[in-house]
Structures are given as structure tokens and as C-alpha cells.
Structure 1
Amino acid sequence: MFAGIFWGTIVCLVEVVLRLLAGRSFLTPAMIPGIILLYVVYWALVGVTFTIASRLAFLRALRPNGIVPALAIGFTLHAVLIRHLFSELVPPGSTILWVLCYGAAIPLGIALGRGIGDFPRGRHTLVVLSCGLALAFGSYFMAGIVKAPGRPGVTDRQNVFILMIDTLRKDHVGVYGYPRNVTPHLDRLARDARIFDRAYSTSSWTHPAIASLFTSQYPSSHGVETKVSSLTGRFETLAESFEREGYRTGIFSASAFVPEIYGLDQGFQHEVSMGKPAYEKLLITEYFGRTAGKIPLLPWRGRDLITLFEEKCRPALLKDWLTTPRLGDGFRRWVDRIGDENFFAYVHVREPHAPYVGRGNYAPPGPVDFTYGASGGTLYPFDTATPVPGDSLRLRIDKYDDDIWAVDRTIGDLFYWMEERGLFENTIVIVTADHGEEFYEHRSWKHGTSLFEELVAIPLFVHVPGAAPARSRDYVSMIDIAPTLLDLAGIAIPEAYRGHSFAPLLRGDPRFEPRSEIFAELARAPGAEAQMLLVDGEKVIQYWKPSREVVELYDLGEDPGEQSTMIARDSIRANALLQKLRDTIEEARLIRGSTDDVELDPNLEKQLRAMGYLE
């Protein structure tokens, strides 16, 4: 057992030190005691096993003091190789690699055991374990002194803060005319900012929209279009651009599309998110997740062990969601830690998203069902629709407004803290949404089913220190935000970006050339997709379903609710817009990057299903 505890602590300390030296560690002081305990317990069990085995007559040649370090060496060598060099290796190649790693380590360990004799004894183990505990508790005292890992930061530029409010409809915000006072704190900021009346997302659900925000690419280009698509490193992300210039970068996300799992953490040095717990990033847990089912003695499917651990030890799904107050606390602690260094922060709050909770302000707390609605697939147009009683519709809207009101109150607390810290004097603040929400305007609920205005028109207001408040009716797309922020910060905009900077508009430059059109798209499944193009108030939408193709044309000036298609009355204009739409689609797909599909573990599936992304 002493051998196991000794070498387990050694392996743990090596991993902690290497991760801290790497410059982009997810480790926090609070995690280190648990990490040390995990390694010590695991390797102590290994040591006990071989101690008992060595007492058997036919296994007396085994010396735990040799076998245990041999396994530790083989484990570390194999884990590093499959993590960095052979991550896609499958049998029989993975088995051969396993045999080679442990085959090389066992003779070395046995020789080491013979050379050190009875080492380690209890006193040696106590010394090493004490060093580990000293690191664990010492990290608490150092947390407020040591800066965040990474390259030296900058202090002479403006900070950048993006607040993404999931599922927030534009017409439920006070500055856009909503009669209910559910967003007083957002309205207060908006009155000191540039308000955009015609801002649009690139899709009607979270995953592709956020990837567009970070890469300044349309979904057809970045390839993140389904619930399992993962962003690859082909495109430089907004966070990577800021990190390259010395900014501290942090992401605080309650979205079910967990940044690390889906590749959305690229360029972020600090991450607070839901879904994938930090222990899965450790060498020991990642090792079993990657090798299970690929090497001898581990016949289970890839994630069975970790899934079992989660089912027994993790809290219930609703308790596991990161609430807006928790994200705000994480942001405040991070800003305190990095001091005066400039930062780029992305905060993604979730509460307006279904399932609506209700706070007792406009509606009583409690769940609400969605038994009424459309059938015939997940993409408009639907085959049938059940009429919705008026009181049921009102209840859903009331609960939705309650959740917006609760989020706004917490955001107000965060804004007041930023004011007290003087951050608004040196911070560019963007408030927006990834998409809207439908309340049966087109025979469906929630989002991700169509490209109508209630889903793709988003709130957007930008606070730039020193800039006068104003209102703009120019078209703005989600892909325009990244180049605008880089432009405002004086950072070179990557050539691959598809968006247009509207920084000249914010500076009051009369030479600003506004965007002439808006493009958005939606892919629900193979053969089920939709695209839209908006030009001068006229909007064409094409829906592709396995059974049919539907094209609709709307004049938003005459029909802002998109209730009466003009396709039969103005086929010439519709065909011209449709051809332009298809040219845009073809252009976007020409630069499409490769994507990786992620494996949805049961916990992540539950999160996505609870939020309506899985049936």
C-alpha cells in the first residue's frame, strides 16, 4: 500500500505541475485536494492488490515496490501517447501500443524495485504525501497572489465583455417596445449604448449561432450545424485573436453546448461551464475514457466507468445547471484575480430557455407542458397543428417573462458591481441573444424549427466608452460582432472572417457602409434544412424536407408577422431573391471546414433533452 500511495502522489504532483507550467490550466485551488485524493486512493488500491498478490506462493517473485512504479510509468507513457499522438488509434493498433508501453515499463520498474529494495517505507510515503497536502493547502493562500496562467497581459487597451442571453426575444425587451417592465436593467444600459433595431442571428438555435459569433462564419462554412457537430481549429476564433494580443480570456457559460466538448473553448484561458465536470480532464479519468474497450483488461465501452461515476455522484440535472448568479460570481472572482490586466469575457446565461420555471411575479412557479403544438417533423411547415387554448398560451408567455425578469435582476447586480469597479469606463459591452423564441406564431413552440422573425431577429446594443448613445436601423448579422470588436480594440481582423465591422458606425464615421442583406440557415437533419435571405425588407425562405420543398416570400414592411406569403403574387421578385439566396449558400459551402462529431454521454443527452434539443 505504501508503494501505491507514494507513486500515486508522485504521478499526481507531476500532472499538477505540468498543467500549471503549460500556461492554460483548468485547475483551481479548490480542485487540488480532490485531485490528490483521487490519485492516492486509486494507486493505493493498486498497491494493496499487488501486496496481497505477492503473498501468494506462485507470485512471490512480484515485488510491489517494483511492479507499482512500473505500472505508473506505463500508465503515464501510454496516457500521454494516446492523448497527443494516437488519439484515433483503434484495435489492433491500440492493443499493440498498450503492449509496447507497458512492456517497456515493467522491466524498468522491476529493475527499479531491485535497486531500491524496501523503498519506499512508511516515512518516505509520509514525506511525499505531506508535500502533496502542502501544495493543496498552499494553493489556497497563493490563489489571490498568483496571476492567471498565460503570457504577460496587456493593461493599456479596453476590456471586452459579451453578455449572451439565451432565447431572449427582441420584442420582449423594453427598449424594443415591450409593454411589460421585465428588463429594467438591460434597458438602463441600452439607453447609454448604440441600439440596433435590425440585428439578426445566423440560425434559430444556439449551437450554430455561437459558432458563428466566435468564427465570423455562416453555419454552412464553420460546419457546426447539428447537436453533435464540434468546431475544429481551422478558423481562428475571436478568443484566440484576443489571447494572441495578450488579453486574459474567460468564458462563463450555462449553455448545454459545453464549450470544451464542442470546441467552443478555443482561445479561452479560463472556463466556467456546465456539463463536462473538471475531473474528466484529469489524466487518470481521461485515460480510462479514451482506452476503455481498446486495450486488454478494459473491455467496457468507452465511457461506461465515467458514466457510472456521474450517475452515482453528480447532482440532479436541474441542480446541475449553472444559474446566472453563479456565472456572475465566477466572473467577478476571475476579474479580481487578474487585477488590472485587460480581459475578453464571454458570459452566456440560460434562464429564459425552456423549461420555463416561473418566479411568481407574472406566473406561479412550476412546470409547464408543451402538449399543444405542431406535428409532422421538426421543421416548418408542419403537417398538422393542435389549436392552443388562450389561457395556455398566456401561461407560457407569463412564465417566460418571469424568467427574463429574474435574469435581468441578476444582470443588474452584475452591472452595478462593474460600475463600482469603474469597468464601464474602460470596457466595451455587448448585450445580445443567440436566437428568439416562438409562441405559436407559426404553429410551433420554442425554437430551431423555422427562420421567422420571432426566432432570428435578436436584441443587440453596444456600449463603447466615450461614444454617444444612438439608435441604428442598419442591418447587422451575428458574424459582424467579432470583426467589430477586434476593430474597436485595434487588433488585426483575420482575413477569413466573413462579417463586416460596424466599428466605424460606433465611432460616428460617415464613411460607414452598412450591410445590404441578412443570411441565416437551419439544418435539423439530413434532408431537412432551411435558408433565408433578407434584402431591403423583403425576405425569402426556402425549406427543404424529405417530402417537399417550400419557398415563401414576405414583405416585412407590410407583413411584419410573416402571415401571408407573396410567392404567388410576385414570382419574379421571389425567383430573383431565391437565386441570390442559392448563390450565397453555394459561396458559404465552398469554404466549409471539417468538423468532428462528439460522443453524447448520458448526462449531456439528458441536458439537451431537457432543453428541447433532443426528442
Structure 2
Amino acid sequence: MVAAGLVGGVVAGLAVGLVDGLSAAFGEGGDLGAIPLTICLTLPAALTIGFFLGLIRGAVASLLPAEDATLWALARRRPEIDAQLVSGLFAAGICALGQAAVVFAFALGPASGMARKENAAISTGLFAAAALIAMAALFLPLWRGLMPLARRVPRLGGRPAVATTLLVLLLAVGAACALVLSRIDWRVLRFGPYVTVLVLAVMSWWLGGLLTRWPPSRLVIAVLVLIGFGLPALAPALGQRANAVSAAQQRGLAAGLWIQLGRRLGDRDGDGFAGWFAGGDCDDTNPRIHPGAKDIPGNGIDENCVGGDAKRRERPRPTIVTGKGRGAKEPTKAAKPKPLAEGHNLLLVCIDTLRADVLGAAGHPDKLTPVIDRLASRGLYFTHAYSQAANTPQSFPSVFTSRYPPRVPYIKRFTGYPRLKKSAVTVFEVLQAKGFHTAAVSSHFYFTERRGIRQGFAEWDNRGATGIRDSNKDIAAPRIVPRAVAKMRALAQAKKRFALFVHLFEPHSTYVLHKGKGYPYTKRGVAGLRQKYDNEVRFVDEWLGKLLAGLKSAGVADKTVVALFSDHGEAFGEHRFYFHGQALYNEVLRVPLVIAAQKLPAKRIDQPVALIDLAPTLLTLLGVPIPSSFQGYSLLGLAQIPGATAPPATRSLGAALLRYPAWPKAQRAMLAGRYKVVRRVTENRWEIYDLKDDPREKKDLARRDPALAKRLRQQYARFIEDELE
């Protein structure tokens, strides 16, 4: 039986690996070398599955009488055994349903409210184990209690009743799955690895049964077993082809999982990166050398395995004067611009998770954002503004400190919500030191004192903040905006020059359904997901209108700079990712950025800019010196304001996805002119896109144009060593 299981596993592995390889070999980003690689990688899993299924088949056969070679035959011949099997299926189904119900209830309940995901995972696992023990204890009483019912199940067409029961249960499970998938955005789930394992198990069991009835010759068995154990030994050699590995990761069904497991097993120095399977570790004996390391310039060691050892370069020092950003030359007194908003207040609004393309001003056909569109029409509207991070806890510190995420001073980096060091200089600390009354209004669990993000605020109203679980269903704008309006009125009456930050959580997922004709929900799947998101955008835009109306009613609209941005965007499957925090594609990085003030011209600016430029721009506008720690540039020069300096035309922009427990895969990105480089550091994958010809980032040029790829990799190496890291 074990031999039949092994042989069945080998044949199943060859077939499934071939299908997986074909899916990785053809189409955009495919490579023929992925076919033998995926076959070799699939076989160990297939052999393991076949071996254990063979053991199970052998154990069952040993318990059966010789005349009943299978449970099927035994159930057909002996009605009492048939009834026992039916009762066992009923009992197992009830126990499985109960197990799933209690585990899901715990996962969606107490576990979802835990701030530390590792604690949530451990507690859910322990709860699942306890529930499994309870269900196992319940199985025997259920089995016995259901016997009277099981005896009544009819034997149709001469088949045992267990066949009818199994068919009904499978139909019930299928219907339940279909119902669940029809009500959720199922494309968020990645079925490839699960389907692959399921197909391997089914094929191995079926083939094992055939081989038990019609056993092949010993020579055939020996050859197949030799293939099953021999081919996987070729996987490390085949895995040295970076293109094949990249194709298997990107397009394969389960090959990415096998590669990830192989790299973990082959990581000799324990630094999280491997030297084989194109893992990118150029010295797998030294844990300080790997693709995620910081390269120390001039020491003769290429710590990050990119572009050789970093060169010592003199970085231009930021000029700490009004009107200039990082690296600008000191202008003459005659050229020094007078601040356009000297004496003004500041209202800085962040609408969380707002994509750049959802604005009517950006061409969205449904005109979801009339308030933002009017604001953009009377101020500086930056059409190509890029966030430097893909999620909230990495983006806000970057925006407030005007530093790329890897350069933000954190107490601890590898955590879901890193905390700023007190040494970090934020834009609100700078404004507070210049006499601004700094305040904030929000209602979200992130904005607590322990995050360090409150540095520089005299007061922060975060009342009504819920836990992680409840925040995803929270409608916060109706309680935030009235408090913010009241705060502006109070500060205006007290004649205090203020800098007020307001955070509006909508349209962050989970997208809440709103009542009224203006918020239709008629679609399902990804289209329904996007429809709910658009409704949230429409909803928050209306509340932004009430906030700006409150500014006017406070009598300070003409003396207040209004700046609007988003911390990151949102993905809807454009690159097989959903929501945010997992990738650095433009649907997540491109965000709205609008700055409006009475003396600012109305201008649409298409040059790419970064969110780290927001703080220097606001300081310049308000007549406040820019700290030397800020990496961003003032953007006023792009508006052709006399005397204002602009960022260098050849400037590159960057973004970083720092590893965190819920997504321990580091990524970096560089925007250089028309090209964008994405490096999946943990997976050692490179992607290059021509944003002029391919704005949706669908055609990866990393392997299509080797000369371009080499040049951009060299430029990327200089950029991360000089600016990003």
C-alpha cells in the first residue's frame, strides 16, 4: 500500500508540477525554465502526501476482512457497517462545523482586537487545539446517538447508504462555500497552494487505488520512485536561474510556496535570506550580509548585495532658511521669497486610504469628490504625488518627519505599529516652537500616546477611538468633524495661531454600507468591493465639505492654509493584491495632494512629488525654517512662485515597505523619470515599469530589456545608499 501511495504521489506530482510549471512559463513574465523547476519542487510534497495516504490505505485494509478489500465493498455487503459509516460521517460533519464556528468566532472576535498579530495567531491556535479536543470528545456520543437516523438513510441503486450521505455532505459543503464566496470578495483569497495540495491528495489517493488493484512491475515502481526522489535533488541547481525562479513565484500556483520553504531550509546563517533558489544572499555564512542589510560605504563589503560596496559621497546639506527645501543653494537676499502665508493658520487633513484616481479632478467619471475637486481647483493640485509607505503606521511617521521610512528613527522597527523615538523631529514640533498652537482631532486606535506620533502637539482629541476589530466597522467622520469645527472656532475666538491636524478614517476597509440613495450597493465580488469603497469616498467628501464650511464659519478661512493628503491608496486586485500594506504598486502609492491658500495660485502640477515634501512645503509657505533632518523639498518652486526654489528635475523618488509581523516581506521602490523599479527584497525579485507607456504597471521590463535593467539597478543601488536607506 505504501509503495502504491508513493508511486501515485510521484505521478500526481509530475502532473501537477507540469501544470504549475506551464502556468509559470507562458504569458507575461513567464519563463520556460519554470517548468522543470516547479516539477522538481512539487515532487517532495507529492511524495509526502502519497506516503501518508498509502499508510492510511494500508491501515484501513488491514482492519477489513479479506473478502472486503475496501470500505466501499464492506458497506455494500454489510448494512450495519454501512449505517455506522453514515453515522460517523454525520458526527464528523457536525464536529467539523462546530470546530469551524467556534474558531472563526474567536478569530473574528477576541483575536481580531489584539494589537500584536503574533499574539492573535498563537491564541487562535491554542483555542483551535482546545476546540478540537472538545469536538473529539463529542464525536463518540454523537456517533452513537445518530445511529437510529443513519439506519433510515436509503441505499439507492444498490449503492451503500454511505455513498448517498457522502454525496449530500459534499453538496452541502459546496453550497455553503458558494454562499460564502458570493457574499465576500473571494478574489482576495489566494487559492493556488490550497488547490494544489487538494489536487495532489485526490490524485494520489485515486492513483494509489488503481495501483493497488492493478500493480505495475517492480521495474516501473523502481523507476518512478527513483524519479520521485532523484528529481528534487536537481531543484537547487535549477533554482539558480533567477528568471525561472521569478516566473515561478509570480505566475505559479504553488511554486512560490515551495520556493519560500526551500529558501528557509537553505538559509545557513539565519538572516532570513538564502544563497540558493535565487535568494540573493551573496554571503550565506555571514548574517550581517544579505539583501535587506544597510550597506556601510567605503568598508570594502557589499552588505546589501546590490551594486558593490557603497561609495562615500558628500550629501548636500539641507538649507535651514525660509523658502528652500533640501539641497537648495542659499539665495541672495533679493531672491529670498517672502512667505505667502505668513501669519496664517494651518489645517492639515488626511483622508485615510484615498487613491489618487478616485478624484473627479483626476477624471473619475462618477464625480465622487466635488468638495476635494473644488479645493483642487483653487490651490496647488499635485496630480502625481507618491506616498513613501504602503500602510498607516509607516506612512505617518514618514510624512511628519519628512524622512523615508527606513530613515525614520524608531524605537523598534519590526512591529506592526513602530514607535517614534523622542529624538525624531516632526513638523508639528517645528510649528509649536514657532508659536503655533498645535492640536489634532481623530478617532482611531493608532493615534495613541505610545506610538510617539503625538510629538509636537499641545493637545490631541482622540475620543471615541475603538480597538482594531471595531475600527474596521466604525463610522468616525460624523463625530470627528463637529469636534474639529468646535476646536477651530475656539482657537479663532482666542486669537491663537493654530496648526490643526484632522484625520478622517473613511474610506479605510472594512468598507461600511451607508444608507440613502447616494450610496448604492448592487454589485458583488471585486466590483462590489470597489462600489462600497467609492461610496465611502463620497461619504467622507461630504464630511470634508462640512469641515471646510466650519473653517469659514469660524471666520479664519482667508487666513488658513488648507492641505489635504492621504497616507496611502488602496488595491483592488490590479496586481493580485487587495487593500494595502503588501506591495508598492501605484494603486497604493499614488495619493491626492492639494495645498490651498489665499495667495497661492490655482495650478495643476504634473511633476512627480513625494509626501515627504509636504512638511517642507508647508513650513516654507508659513515662513518657518526647515529642519536639517528633513529629506523632502519645498514644492513652491513648481508653482513658478517668484524666488521659490524647486526640487531638482532629475530627482528620484522612493518608497519602502518595512517588514512587519503580519507581512514580513521587505520591498523598496524607486521612481526615476519615466521608469519605476520595484525590488521585492525578501523574495529577491526585480520589476521595472515604463510608467509613460505602461502607467498601470503591467509589463515588467526587468527581463525584457537587460541593458535598461542593468542601468536602473545601478541607479537604484546609488539611490538607496544615498537617500532611501
Cα deviation code 1:67-110 (max 9, x no counterpart): xxxxxxxxxxxxxxxxxxxxxxxxxxxxxxxxxxxxxxxxxxxx
Q: Tell me the SS of whatever aligns to 2:483.
A: helix
* Alignment of 1:542 onto 2:695: no
* Alignment of 1:532 onto 2:696: no
Cα deviation code 1:1-29 (max 9, x no counterpart): xxxxxxxxxxxxxxxxxxxxxxxxxxxxx
* Alignment of 1:227 onto 2:419: no
Inter-partner Cα distance in structure 2 for 1:463 and 1:317: 34
Shift of 1:319: 9.9
Inter-partner Cα distance in structure 2 for 1:251 and 1:359: 26
Cα deviation code 1:34-68 (max 9, x no counterpart): xxxxxxxxxxxxxxxxxxxxxxxxxxxxxxxxxxx
Q: Tell me the SS of whatever aligns to 2:490.
A: helix
Shift of 1:364: 5.3
Inter-partner Cα distance in structure 1 for 2:620 and 2:654: 22
Shift of 1:321: 4.6
What are structure 2's unaligned runs of at least 5 residues? 1-340
Note if contact 1:240-1:268 (Cα within 8 Å) is conserved in structure 2.
Answer: yes
Cα deviation code 1:380-431 (max 9, x no counterpart): xxxxxxxxxx841111111101111111111111112222333221111111
* Alignment of 1:271 onto 2:460: yes
Inter-partner Cα distance in structure 2 for 1:348 and 1:523: 23
Show the counterpart of 1:174: 360
Shift of 1:514: 3.1
Q: What is the one-letter code of the residue matched to 2:568?
A: H
Percent of aligned positions that are identical? 30
Aligned counterparts, 1:214-613, within 5 A: 214-223=400-409, 226-273=415-462, 317-318=470-471, 321=474, 323-338=476-491, 339-360=494-515, 361=517, 391-506=524-639, 508-509=641-642, 512-515=645-648, 516-525=651-660, 528-545=665-682, 548-588=683-723
Shift of 1:435: 0.6
Distance 1:589 1:189, change over 3 A: closer
Note if contact 1:475-1:517 (Cα within 8 Å) is conserved in structure 2.
Answer: no
Q: What is the one-letter code of the residue matched to 1:263?
A: G
Note if contact 2:633-2:646 (Cα within 8 Å) is conserved in structure 1.
Answer: no
Range that drifts further, 354-363 or 324-333: 354-363
The structure with more radius of gyration: 2
Note if contact 1:439-1:445 (Cα within 8 Å) is conserved in structure 2.
Answer: yes
Note if contact 1:274-1:322 (Cα within 8 Å) is conserved in structure 2.
Answer: no
Between the two proteins, the alignment pairs up a number of residues equal to 375
Shift of 1:259: 4.0
Distance 1:573 1:274, change over 3 A: farther
Shift of 1:275: 7.5
Shift of 1:487: 1.0
Inter-partner Cα distance in structure 1 for 2:635 and 2:475: 32
Inter-partner Cα distance in structure 2 for 1:276 and 1:328: 14
Show the counterpart of 1:209: 395
Q: Tell me the SS of whatever aligns to 1:524.
A: coil
Note if contact 2:355-2:587 (Cα within 8 Å) is conserved in structure 1.
Answer: yes
Shift of 1:316: 8.7
Q: Tell me the SS of whatever aligns to 2:658.
A: strand
Q: Tell me the SS of whatever aligns to 2:568.
A: coil
Per chain length, whose mean CA-contact separation is higher, i.e. which structure has more relative contact order (CA < 8 Å, sep 6+)? 1
Q: What is the one-letter code of the residue matched to 1:229?
A: P
Show the counterpart of 2:21: none
Q: Tell me the SS of whatever aligns to 1:435.
A: coil
Note if contact 1:254-1:321 (Cα within 8 Å) is conserved in structure 2.
Answer: no
Inter-partner Cα distance in structure 2 for 1:421 and 1:242: 21
Shift of 1:341: 1.2
Shift of 1:326: 1.5
Inter-partner Cα distance in structure 1 for 2:578 and 2:397: 24
Shift of 1:524: 3.1
Note if contact 1:502-1:514 (Cα within 8 Å) is conserved in structure 2.
Answer: yes
Q: What is the one-letter code of the residue matched to 1:333?
A: A
* Higher strand content, 1 or 2: 1
Note if contact 2:395-2:567 (Cα within 8 Å) is conserved in structure 1.
Answer: yes
Note if contact 1:258-1:275 (Cα within 8 Å) is conserved in structure 2.
Answer: no
Inter-partner Cα distance in structure 1 for 2:408 and 2:698: 32
Q: Structure 2-normalised TM-score?
A: 0.49
Inter-partner Cα distance in structure 2 for 1:500 and 1:365: 42
Range that drifts further, 550-559 or 513-522: 513-522
Shift of 1:460: 0.9
Shift of 1:575: 2.3
Shift of 1:510: 6.8
Note if contact 1:169-1:454 (Cα within 8 Å) is conserved in structure 2.
Answer: yes
Distance 1:315 1:579, change over 3 A: closer
Inter-partner Cα distance in structure 2 for 1:410 and 1:523: 33
Show the counterpart of 2:345: 159
Inter-partner Cα distance in structure 2 for 1:273 and 1:581: 40
Inter-partner Cα distance in structure 1 for 2:615 and 2:444: 20
Q: What is the one-letter code of the residue matched to 2:526?
A: L
Cα deviation code 1:320-377 (max 9, x no counterpart): 95711221122122222222211111111111000001224465579xxxxxxxxxxx
Cα deviation code 1:120-179 (max 9, x no counterpart): xxxxxxxxxxxxxxxxxxxxxxxxxxxxxxxxxxx9711111110100011111100100
Note if contact 1:202-1:477 (Cα within 8 Å) is conserved in structure 2.
Answer: yes
Distance 1:315 1:531, change over 3 A: closer
Inter-partner Cα distance in structure 2 for 1:404 and 1:324: 12
Shift of 1:472: 0.7
Inter-partner Cα distance in structure 1 for 2:681 and 2:654: 16
Q: What is the one-letter code of the residue matched to 2:418?
A: S
Note if contact 2:444-2:471 (Cα within 8 Å) is conserved in structure 1.
Answer: no
Shift of 1:243: 0.6
Q: What's the Cα RMSD here?
A: 2.6
Q: What is the one-letter code of the residue matched to 1:453?
A: N
Inter-partner Cα distance in structure 2 for 1:319 and 1:412: 23
Inter-partner Cα distance in structure 2 for 1:262 and 1:315: 15
Aligned counterparts, 1:27-176, within 5 A: 157-176=343-362
Shift of 1:276: 7.1
Inter-partner Cα distance in structure 1 for 2:538 and 2:510: 15
Inter-partner Cα distance in structure 2 for 1:324 and 1:251: 14
Q: What is the one-letter code of the residue matched to 1:415?
A: L
Inter-partner Cα distance in structure 2 for 1:534 and 1:316: 35
Aligned counterparts, 1:17-32, within 5 A: none
Distance 1:158 1:222, change over 3 A: same
Q: Tell me the SS of whatever aligns to 1:229.
A: coil
Q: What is the one-letter code of the residue matched to 1:264?
A: I
Distance 1:320 1:248, change over 3 A: farther
Inter-partner Cα distance in structure 2 for 1:510 and 1:274: 43
Inter-partner Cα distance in structure 2 for 1:318 and 1:208: 18
Shift of 1:195: 0.9
Range that drifts further, 455-464 or 218-227: 218-227
Q: Tell me the SS of whatever aligns to 1:230.
A: coil
Shift of 1:588: 4.8
Shift of 1:511: 6.0
Distance 1:200 1:586, change over 3 A: same
Shift of 1:197: 1.3
Distance 1:573 1:407, change over 3 A: same
